[in-house]
Chain A
Amino acid sequence: MSKIIELKRVNKWFDKFQVLKDIDLEVAPQEKIVICGPSGSGKSTLIRCINRLEEHQEGNIIVDGTELSESTKNIEKIRAEVGMVFQQFNLFPHLSILDNCSLAPIWVKKLPKKQAEEVAMNNLKRVQIDDQALKFPGQLSGGQQQRAAIARALCMEPKIMLFDEPTSALDPEMIKEVLDVMVDLAKGGMTMIVVTHEMGFAKEVADYMIFMDEGKIVERAKTKDFFEKPKSERTKLFLSQIL
């Protein structure tokens, strides 16, 4: 099967500190991958490289047949195909939820306003906050905001969704409503790369688990194998601490 994301020997430094070391990663369409690891292990940086919110210095990143390079055109093309959900939601506070969702389709995909709003409403319905469409982000709970952020990303009809610790900034009771939406999305066949510590979610949807430490991929395994018979000592230690 052809790969939708390929990373080949990717290296990245912040000044002199190397955050990513020889990362190789391939993701097939519709695959769901969960990345876990201690903080500072480079997992967020890794997925942020995939839509070039961070720049890598060595190696190749190819997304859906387009190589990420200096070319602004390529970068924008890839970003329009790759949805991203952030830990801090990053909704646009000066726009209503509906406008948050319809803005990019109107201005980037050049959809007519009416059609864009229709798409937005459908996606808001999908994450079950269509009744909040006309409110502003500041009026919503954290869980609702994160679901709105997911809907906003979905409105661009991305082929790939990246999740950067989507539940880490949420109150415990709101985590479930966001995870439910993500499970739903996974079952719909979306290609997903998720950085999270929610191991229950990982067990439920992930095809592969990736464990990172100190900028390296320490272990990549099928979800079942990863939890039942992890190979590396580092993974075992990590799992024993969070499970």
Chain B
Amino acid sequence: MNLIAKPSKENIKTYVPIGLFLVSLSFLDVFINAFFNFNLMGFLPSQLSYFLPLILGFIGFYLIRIEFSGVRSLDVLNKNINSNNFNALLTLFTIFIIIKSIPPMLDWFILEANFAGNSKDDCTGNGACWVFIKVWFNRFMYGLYPDAEQWRINTAFLILFAVVGVSFFVAEKLKKYFILFLVFVFPFLGIKLISGGSFGLEYVESAAWGGLSLTFIISAFAILFCFPIGVILALGRRSSLPAIKYISIGFIELWRGVPLITVLFMSAVMFPMFLPDGTFIDKLIRVLIAITLFEAAYMAEVVRGGLQALPKGQYEAAKSLGMGYWRMNALIILPQALKLVIPGIANTLLALVKDTPLIFVVGLMELAGMIGLAKTNPKWLGMAMEGYVFAGLVFWVICYAMSRYSQNLEKKLSTER
């Protein structure tokens, strides 16, 4: 098998150019094939021409695989994507698949998609019918909230973004007032503004709320409440008082053991039956309580993980300074434990946001629910793909933003270790 010498430093001058040429040729072939629908190797028998790029690329990668070549970029390349035959094949496959899948995606999303028009009939191309999103956009954002009153939702969110934005730039000392406002005042102010019923604002019942704004409202409230409840449950589960301990364990295990969808269903259908006649709790509030308690159980276990990771010495040091249970936990234990479990907390909160579409089972339509409703409209049948791709993108943007924020927080808080 010594027909060709093994690639080494001696023959680097001939092997590397040939190898690179072959690899580029294989990429070029796939690229032209995918984007211009023209087969460079068309003169060859069909099966051979199909596999040829793979064979050429494979040989090319073999030829440039020279250990300690002394050329930095070549070494980096070999080490990362071309360390052996199998990895070279994987590399080729991955790159080919990416190249191959770009044109159809591009076509569907943009090139052959329809943007202009007002009805389904305007969608003549083969691509996505974005007209659907455009026409229904208002519903996707605000649900069935009356058009004339939508400024109230906008104002509430504008105030939120403004306060959050300003809080990044104010002095450290004022920051805590901003946070207090955001946590204790704004949620109720915002909800009052949106629901109305006083200050001359028309009352809009929660059944009309919907779309992305409802996603935000539910997520925000659930996050706001499930976090402290989760922390208290976590502390409770580690309490030395048996009553508190077993109540916490029971609560956590009960809620963790039931699917969210059944919890929501119970909150909407069963729960009202147990209420005395004449009492009425808004459906949205019942659902919010259900989601909050459900996620709090998960949060509790995440936080407990952090509590258990702390060395015993931290508890002893805090106690030896005369701190009581609450001071010890608030000042010493929780700040460290929560910092340790930021990834887990982010995980739970992301799951919470992505669980909100489940509220469709009780008839509340947030973004995904609204899309589900729109796609069954007789005039807009067959738009499921566009709708759910849109929903997926929106959820991804929200969740990715949250994930980035949690990573930043982690970095910011980890300076002292």
Footprint of B on A, CB under 8 Å?
51, 53, 72, 76-77, 79-84, 86, 88, 90-96, 103-104, 107-108, 136-139, 149, 152-153, 156
Contact = CB atoms under 8 A, between A and B. Distances in A.
B42 interface: no
A104 B313 contact: no
A185 to B, nearest CB: 17
A80 B322 CA distance: 4
Nearest to B413: A94
Given A53-B316, A92-B332, A156 B321 contact: yes
B239 interface: no
Interface string B299-334: 000000000000101101111111110010001100
A90 B316 contact: yes
Given A108-B322, A138-B416, A153-B320, 10 more contacts: A53-B316, A53-B320, A79-B319, A86-B316, A90-B317, A93-B416, A94-B413, A96-B416, A104-B321, A153-B321
A94 B415 CA distance: 9
Contacts of B319: 51, 53, 79
Interface of B: 311, 313-314, 316-324, 327, 331-332, 335-336, 339, 413, 415-417
Nearest to A78: B322
Contact of A91 (B317, B322, B335): B317
Nearest to A53: B316
A208 B327 CA distance: 37
21 contacts: A51-B319, A76-B324, A77-B322, A79-B322, A81-B322, A84-B316, A84-B317, A90-B311, A90-B314, A90-B317, A92-B317, A94-B336, A96-B416, A104-B323, A107-B323, A136-B416, A137-B416, A139-B416, A153-B321, A156-B321, A156-B322
Contact of A104 (B314, B316, B322): B322
A94 B339 contact: yes
Contact of A76 (B311, B322, B332): B322
B342 to A, nearest CB: 13
Nearest to A108: B322
A83 B331 contact: no
Contact of A94 (B311, B313, B316, B335): B335
B412 to A, nearest CB: 12
B331 A72 contact: no
A111 B320 CA distance: 18
Nearest to B321: A104
Contacts of B321: 79-80, 103-104, 108, 152-153, 156
Contact of B313 (A81, A86, A156): A86
Contacts of B327: 107-108
Contacts of B316: 53, 84, 86, 90
Contacts of A104: 321-323
Contacts of B335: 94
A103 B331 CA distance: 8
A80 B318 CA distance: 11
B328 to A, nearest CB: 10
A152 B314 CA distance: 14
Given A92-B332, A137-B416, A82 B320 contact: yes
A92 B314 contact: yes
A163 to B, nearest CB: 12
Nearest to A83: B320
A136 B413 CA distance: 12
B416 A84 contact: no
Contacts of A95: 416
Given A136-B416, A138-B416, A152-B321, A107 B313 contact: no
Contacts of B416: 93-96, 136-139
Nearest to B316: A53
A94 to B, nearest CB: 5
Contacts of A86: 313, 316-317, 320
A156 B258 CA distance: 49
B176 to A, nearest CB: 14
Given A53-B320, A76-B322, A86-B313, A93 B331 contact: no
A95 B323 CA distance: 16
A81 B322 CA distance: 8
A80 B413 CA distance: 30
Contacts of B322: 76-77, 79-81, 104, 108, 156
A52 to B, nearest CB: 8
Nearest to A86: B313
The 6 closest A-B pairs by CB, nearest first: A80-B322, A136-B416, A90-B317, A104-B321, A90-B313, A84-B320
Nearest to B325: A72
